[in-house]
């Protein structure tokens, strides 16, 4: 297998861990009786499932930010679009079980006197179509947006700000009830997914496993991309864009590829997120959410595969804990954490550990070298090659 050769052991350990979670968590929840010491309480399953989709989102962002150097402040938009596509499918699945019993129209359309389903809702009753849209809509938006932005060489903070403008515009647009996406309340009150009741423990466990598998595939995909020559090129674009241009590459193509792939990943994350939290509404487009994703990646360590995943899990778990134990002051903790990480751990947790490890190894190696030979050639003139 090509992939196997490309990926190092660390990636496989990571994928193994994720897949183990995909199996063990549902087992601990479903197979073990509630009294058992290893039993996983039901309420934790969707909570952890949510973290896993966040991890996938953070990984998607890391592909563009960590590897290509595009700081997108609008990745929440792709996440939310994927979520809306899934939400629309789930809404259609409600069928006539809505409060008004209308077999076609979702409740919010009924009480706002909509007479027919808008054209863009058609097709969403089929899962395959919704699944396609989950990838296609964010992907297409990213492609079109990226195509123009990268071709015009919009870079750095300018790009960050217009991605923010993009998600902000979408936020406002989805707030509008006239858009037909439920306005501020968004889409909610889902009943079932693929015929399984959405609130059943088994469905929850299944969604959790699906999220883990998606994350594992995401890790493999990002691992494969970043370890290919293209991955090297991405880093090259990140570090010296004009140099890549002058050796004949088109950085805009590289960026567009990464941006689009990343948006599709974010869309999938969103689609898995929605059935687990039970609601999708415009606040997912809020610029602050997108900034938070950046924070996860930064805390964990960008430019690594494990970093963003770890960051997303840690920050969100911290948020869960602190909003409960210190509801009046958890923002101090969260804000302090961001400041601390950027000041003390600029490479993020994983980056710092990696760096420390490399430095330690380098020290050992150079110490060993010094014992053997008198010096290395650094800085001195190299021997003239024999002609």
Partner 1 sequence: MVEHDDMREPLGQDGIAPGASPDDVAAGPSSDPAKADTISSVVSPHPYAAEMRRRRLAAEAQGRARRETLLYLDGVTKSFDGFKAINNLSLVIERGEMRAIIGPNGAGKTTMMDIITGKTRPDRGAVYFNGAVDLTKHDEAAIASMGIGRKFQKPTVFESHTVEDNIRLSLAGPRSVVEALVHRKSTAERERIAEILATIRLTDKRRTFAANLSHGQKQWLEIGMLLAQDPELLLVDEPVAGMTDAETVETARLLREIAATRSVVVVEHDMSFVRELSVKVTCLHEGSVLSEGTLEAVSNDPKVIEVYLGR
Partner 2 sequence: MRSAMTWMQRTALAATIAAFGVSGAVAADTKPKGEPIKVGILHSLSGTMAISETTLKDAMLMLIDEQNKKGGLLGRPLEPVVVDPASNWPLFAEKARELISQDKVAAVFGCWTSVSRKSVLPVFKELDSILFYPVQYEGEESERNVFYTGAAPNQQAIPAVDYLMNEGVKRWVLEGTDYVYPRTTNKILEAYLKSKGVAAEDIKVNYTPFGFSDWQTEVSAIKDFGSAGKKTAVVSTVNGDANVPFYKELANQGVSAEDIPVVAFSVGEEELAGIDTSPLVGHLAAWNYFESIDTPQNDDFIAKWHKFIGNDKRVTNDPMEAHYIGFNMWVKAVEKAGTTDPDKVIDAMIGVSVPNLTGGYSTMMPNHHITKPVFIGEIQDDGQFQVVWQTPGLVPGDAWSDYLPESKPLISDWRKPMSCGNFNTATGKCGGAGAEKAAAN
Partner 3 sequence: MMRLVRQFLVFLLIALILPIGAYAQSSDPAALIQSFGGKQSFDDTEAVVKKLAAAGDPQVARALNALSKGDLVYRKSDNQVFIASGRGTVDLFDPLTGTKVGEAASRDFSKVRVKNSIRRAVTDALGSLTLRSPDPNTRMAAAGTLFSTATPEAMKTLDAAIAAETVPAIKTKLEEARAAAVLKSDEPAAAKVEAVKTLAGKGDRETLAMIRGVAATSKDAQLKQAATTAAVSIENTIATWTILQNVWYGLSLGSVLLLAAIGLAITFGVMGVINMAHGEMVMLGAYTTFVVQELIRTHAPGLFEVSLAIALPLAFLVSGAVGLVMERCLIRFLYGRPLETLLATFGVSLILQQAVRTIFGPSNREVGNPDFMSGAFDIGLMSVTWNRLWIIVFALVVFVALLALLNKTALGLQMRAVTQNRKMAAAMGIRTPWVDAMTFALGSGIAGIAGVALSQIDNVSPNLGQGYIIDSFMVVVFGGVGNLWGTLVGAMSLGVVNKFLEPYAGAVLGKIVVLVLIILFIQKRPRGLFAQKGRFVDA
Write the binding mask 197 to 226 for partner 1: x where contact by CB under 8 A, - elsewhere. Answer: ----------------------------x-
State the binding partner of 136 from partner 3, partner 1, partner 2, none, CB within 5 to 8 A by kind: none
DSSP 60-99: HHHIIIIIT----S-HHHHHHHHHHHHHHHHHHHHGGGST
49-68: which residues touch partner 3 (CB under 8 A)? 65
Residues composing the chain: 387
State the binding partner of 374 from partner 3, partner 2, partner 1, none, CB within 5 to 8 A by kind: none
Q: Residue 68's closest CA among 217, 296, 263?
A: 263
How are the residues of the chain apportioned to helix, strand and coil, as percentages rounded to the nearest 5?
Answer: 75, 0, 25
113 in the Ramachandran plot: left (φ > 0), alpha (ψ -120 to 50) or beta? Answer: left
Q: Residue 187's closest CA among 195, 198, 196, 200?
A: 198
- Alpha-carbon span 149 to 114, nearest angstrom: 37
Smaller CB distance to partner 3: residue 128 or 246? 246
88-117: which residues touch partner 3 (CB under 8 A)? none
Write the binding mask 68 to 87 for partner 3: x where contact by CB under 8 A, - elsewhere. Answer: ---x----------------
State the binding partner of 365 from partner 2, partner 3, partner 1, none, CB within 5 to 8 A by kind: none
Chain centre to alpha carbon of residue 95: 31
Write the binding mask 240 to 269 for partner 1: x where contact by CB under 8 A, - elsewhere. Answer: x-xxxxxxxxx--xx--x------------
State the binding partner of 154 from partner 1, partner 3, partner 2, none, CB within 5 to 8 A by kind: partner 3
Paired tokens of 318: 């911290």
- CA distances 24 to 8, 13, 18, 34, 209, Å, are 24, 16, 10, 15, 9
Find the binder of partner 3 among 47, 104, 291, 314 (CB under 8 A). 291
Note whether 295 binds partner 3 by CB under 8 A: yes
Note whether 326 binds partner 3 by CB under 8 A: no
Q: Give me the residues that bind partner 1 (CB under 8 A), please.
A: 2, 225, 228-230, 232-233, 235-236, 238-240, 242-250, 253-254, 257, 377-379, 381-385
């Amino acid at each position: 297998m090509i992939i196997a050769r490309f990926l190092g052991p660390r990636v496989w350990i990571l994928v193994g861990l994720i897949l183990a979670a995909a199996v063990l968590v549902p087992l601990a929840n479903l197979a073990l009786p509630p009294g058992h010491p290893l039993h996983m309480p039901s309420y934790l399953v969707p909570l952890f499932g949510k973290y896993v989709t966040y991890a996938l989102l953070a990984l998607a962002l890391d592909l563009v930010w960590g590897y290509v150097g595009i700081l997108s402040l609008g990745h929440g938009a792709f996440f939310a679009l994927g979520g809306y596509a899934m939400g629309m499918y789930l809404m259609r699945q409600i069928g006539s079980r809505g409060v008004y019993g209308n077999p076609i129209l979702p409740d919010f359309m009924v009480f706002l006197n909509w007479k027919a389903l808008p054209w863009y809702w058609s097709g969403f009753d089929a899962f395959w179509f919704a699944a396609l849209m989950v990838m296609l809509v964010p992907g297409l938006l990213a492609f079109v947006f990226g195509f123009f932005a990268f071709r015009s060489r919009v870079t750095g903070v300018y790009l960050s700000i217009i991605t923010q403008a993009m998600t902000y515009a979408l936020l406002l647009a989805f707030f509008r009830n006239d858009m037909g996406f439920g306005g501020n309340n968004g889409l909610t009150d889902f009943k079932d997914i693929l015929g399984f009741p959405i609130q059943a423990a088994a469905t929850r466990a299944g969604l959790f496993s699906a999220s883990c598998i998606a994350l594992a595939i995401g890790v493999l995909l990002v691992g494969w991309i970043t370890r290919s020559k293209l991955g090297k090129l991405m880093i090259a674009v990140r570090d010296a864009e004009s140099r890549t241009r002058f050796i004949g590459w088109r950085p805009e193509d590289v960026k567009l590829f990464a941006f689009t792939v990343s948006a599709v990943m974010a869309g999938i994350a969103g689609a898995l997120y929605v059935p687990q939290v039970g609601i999708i509404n415009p606040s997912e487009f809020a610029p602050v959410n997108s900034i938070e994703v950046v924070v996860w990646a930064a805390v964990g360590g960008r430019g690594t595969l494990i970093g963003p995943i770890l960051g997303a899990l840690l920050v969100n778990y911290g948020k869960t804990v602190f909003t409960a134990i210190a509801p009046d002051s958890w923002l101090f903790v969260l804000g302090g954490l961001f400041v601390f990480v950027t000041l003390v751990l600029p490479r993020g947790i994983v980056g710092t550990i990696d760096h420390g490890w490399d430095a330690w190894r380098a020290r050992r190696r150079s110490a060993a070298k010094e014992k053997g030979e008198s010096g290395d050639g650094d800085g001195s003139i190299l021997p003239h090659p024999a002609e």
